[in-house]
Structure 1
Amino acid sequence: MKRLNKILSVTMGTAGLVLGQAVLSTSSSLFPRVETAPGRAMVNASPITYVPPNRGRPQQTQGTGSRGCEAISEEKGDAIEVTLVTPTNHTAYTVSERPVFYWLAGHTVNRPVEFTLVEDGNPNPIYVRRLDRLEAGMNQVVIDSEQALEVGKTYRWTVSVICNARRRSADVFAQGWVERVAISDELQAQLDSATTPEEIAQAYAGSGIWLDALAHLSSDSDRLEAFEAELENSATLSEQDETTVQN
């Protein structure tokens, strides 16, 4: 969470830092709650109320690279970190053929960044995008090729900071998973009746479609709030699960 506070300060300035600290320091009992399953409730501290699908395998992993990699950052001595703006304990859903992917960085790093998208079970990437450097704050990539995600398939997406092009094992990276699902009749009806971007974002969020909900929010600060709320909710559910097991 401290890492996200730092990212918030870089992305949104002083006002954003105050907002981020408020989200993290406020008791979850003060947030409105929506029941997602018996005995489970979700913290709502964001512009949308995200109702996750059935949670599966942990869906975000990270690699810290090799020693010395942090020396290339603008803030000497700080470790380079990439945080994907995606749920950490279940696969993110999308209904889009070419969704938008978001990630966060605490500070700018003048090294290339590589985004890759790989279908589960196929080692060959279906999409690769190279960026000149890691930018502080919110970053994004839109799939802009003819290759489209297929309904019912799961994909792994990875953001890598290339510290040493000759030794890719030194990369700092983060990876998560996304699955494309079909639009349900209920969701389609909600989208048809929505009149604002906020209503569209909420329709997706209420149906557990994370990536599309983020894409329809109007600002990066809203996306950060939604992500903070999901992290808080995941932590709350983990505590509830541990308590249930102990009892």
Structure 2
Amino acid sequence: MKWIQACLCLAAFSLPICWNFIPVSALTPHKQDDHTPKTWQMSQVFKPPKRGKPPASAGGSTRSSSCFKGNKRLTPLIPSDKLGLTLAKHPTFFWYVPSTSVKTAKFLLLADGDREVLYETVFTLPNEPGIISFKIPNSAPALAIGKTYHWYFTIVCNAEDTSDNPLVDGWIERTQAELPLSQALAKADLWKLPALYAEAGIWHEGLTALVQLRRTEPRSLKVKMDWRQFLKSVGLNAIVSEPSIDCCTADNSLPK
């Protein structure tokens, strides 16, 4: 866990931007496509749940590093208070990784006030810059409902001197959907899921659904608008145009 000591922080997040509901009459479903969004669907502005903030930590983003080409920063896709809710036992995380020749990244998930290592792994980064994802494998311990976990993600530029290794961190809490939400989710297709999650303040599944739509419907104006609004509403303006890269899976689970 030596690499945690390289924590750096960036305190710049834009103010949330909220748009009114967007009419999508032009997107009325055709007979050939039952998954086209309906006219009632809202713009994807994320509404954070009303709850206390997580403990102070390393910071949502780091300064520029010699790891990266240019002045772009490693950026986690998380709400501005750094706490994301999930319904999943094994959730998916997302980060923007700038252009780099470094190929190794580390992920660490801690429990019980950082006293217990729940999961730790390394994986190989893609060759191109963009938004990557990592899903905790089903073989890892499941997140418990109502419990908050602290995660760290770092790019291993220098295995000997970690001071130049860009590192970001955040918090995740598994929650349980109330009956009205769980019923709506059970009936919803992929087009409707982002709006339901965004309204309920469920960050990780809302983002995951939008990434899936962005990949399967790359030409959809509705998807592009919802993606932009979802990220801008939590201050992630700088990465709304970055591509989603097909990555990553664990190369090796490190011992606890």
- Give the TM bin, normalised by the shorter chain: 0.5 to 0.7
Q: Which is helix-richer, 1 or 2?
A: 1
Q: Which residue of 2 aligns with 1:110?
A: 102
Q: Which residue of 1 aligns with 2:47?
A: 51
Q: Quote how far apart the aligned CAs of 1:150 are.
A: 0.5
Q: Pairwise mapping of residues 117-136 of structure 1 onto structure 2 (< 5 A)?
A: 117-133=109-125, 135-136=128-129
Alpha-carbon RMSD across the aligned residues, in angstroms, is: 3.2
Alpha-carbon distance in 2 for matches of 1:167, 1:119 = 26
Contact preservation (8 Å) 1:151, 1:180: yes
| Shift in alpha-carbon separation, 1:201–1:63, aligned structure 2, 3 A | closer
Q: Which residue of 2 aligns with 1:84?
A: 76
Q: Which residue of 1 aligns with 2:203?
A: 210
Deviation string 1:34-83 (CA, Å, 9 cap, x unpaired) is xxxxxxxxxxxx95232210153367715747x9x51x43x2xx346211
Alpha-carbon distance in 2 for matches of 1:198, 1:180 = 23
Contact preservation (8 Å) 1:62, 1:174: yes
4+ aligned runs moved over 3 Å, structure 1: 62-65, 220-225
Structure 1: runs of 5+ lacking an equivalent: 4-23, 34-45, 234-247
Aligned residues: 189
Point out which structure has higher relative CO (alpha carbons under 8 A, 6+ apart): 2
Structure 2: runs of 5+ lacking an equivalent: 1-9, 22-41, 216-223, 238-256
Q: Pairwise mapping of residues 143-162 of structure 1 onto structure 2 (< 5 A)?
A: 143-144=136-137, 145-162=139-156
Q: Secondary structure at the match of 1:88?
A: coil
1:226 paired residue among 222, 227, 230: 230
Q: Quote how far apart the aligned CAs of 1:223 are.
A: 4.6
Quick check: 1:180 aligned with 2:180?
Answer: no
| Shift in alpha-carbon separation, 1:224–1:164, aligned structure 2, 3 A | farther
Contact preservation (8 Å) 2:89, 2:142: yes
Alpha-carbon distance in 2 for matches of 1:120, 1:107 = 35
| Shift in alpha-carbon separation, 1:187–1:52, aligned structure 2, 3 A | same
Q: Quote how far apart the aligned CAs of 1:96 are.
A: 0.4
Q: Which residue of 1 aligns with 2:185?
A: 191
Alpha-carbon distance in 1 for matches of 2:122, 2:181 = 34
TM-score (norm 2): 0.63
Contact preservation (8 Å) 1:63, 1:171: no
